[in-house]
Amino acid sequence: MTKKKTATAYSFAESFEMLNKLQQMAIDDSNLSLALKAEELKCKIAALQADKENNLTNENLTGILVDFINEEQSNSKNSKNICTAHKAKEEV
């Protein structure tokens, strides 16, 4: 019976450190394409980490906007007046 390998999750710092090592190995071997790929991956995980820290993903922002609009509609007696962009157009 063979044992299943379990996937281990890397922390941001571990992933970034490993990519730094791999990038340096690629540079030492004069392998520009692999060095650039490591840099690309470092940028991607840094962006993911920043999104995670800020917790401002598109889904969260959309949810905030939907909640705001729903709240404004429920507080308004005349929901047609919520968006005033068309009203400003008529006045011009």
pLDDT band at 18 (very low <50, low <70, confident <90, very high): very high
Rounded CA gap, 34 and 8, in Å? Answer: 24
Predicted model pTM: 0.50
Q: Give me the mean pLDDT over the 29-52 stretch.
A: 89
Rounded CA gap, 24 and 11, in Å? Answer: 20
CB 38 within 8 A of CB 23: yes
